[in-house]
């Protein structure tokens, strides 16, 4: 797994009707893309909660991250504490639907084609 220097964690969140709530980018230092995606999930969930949103759709473009969080598999990896933090956030009293989106199809990330 390659480490990425100056990695950004980027995420979009939507309300329960699919309307875009907000997006953000966060510098997470030197890490791999998998860890950056986990940081994006964690930060996005915390921001959504702090802003008072209680029904959100979390769009993630990493199939591995979605699978790991949906199956709640334990991880003894270096991301173990981060995964526990995300799972704790998911257990709060709110509705979070996590979906996988392709980066190529995400206009919030990619911008309009043409």
Q: Which domain CATH number covers 47?
A: 3.30.420.10
User: Are 28 and 3 spatial neighbours (Cβ–Cβ below 8 Å)?
Assistant: no
Structure confidence at residue 107 as a pLDDT band (50, 70, 90): very low
What are the backbone dihedrals phi and psi of residue 106, each rounded to the nearest 5 degrees, phi first?
-95, 100
Amino acid 89: pLDDT: 93
Total of domains in the chain: 1
Query: For 62-101, how does the pLDDT look when each residue is reduced to its tens digit (9 = 90+)?
Result: 888 888 888 766 655 678 888 889 989 999 999 988 888 8
Q: Which range of residues forms the domain containing residue 26? A: 4-110
Instruction: Compute the distance between CA of residue 52 and CA of residue 67 in angstroms, rounded to an integer.
Output: 27
């Amino acid at each position: 797994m390659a480490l990425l220097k100056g990695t950004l964690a980027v995420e979009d969140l939507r309300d329960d009707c699919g309307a875009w709530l907000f997006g953000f980018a966060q510098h997470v230092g030197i890490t791999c893309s998998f860890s950056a995606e986990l940081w994006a999930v964690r930060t996005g969930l915390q921001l959504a909660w702090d802003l008072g949103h209680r029904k959100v759709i979390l769009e993630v473009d990493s199939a591995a991250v979605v699978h790991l969080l949906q199956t709640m598999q334990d991880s003894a990896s270096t991301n173990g504490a981060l995964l526990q933090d995300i799972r704790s956030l998911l257990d709060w009293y709110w509705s979070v639907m996590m979906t996988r989106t392709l980066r190529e199809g995400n206009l919030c990330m990619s911008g309009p084609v043409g």
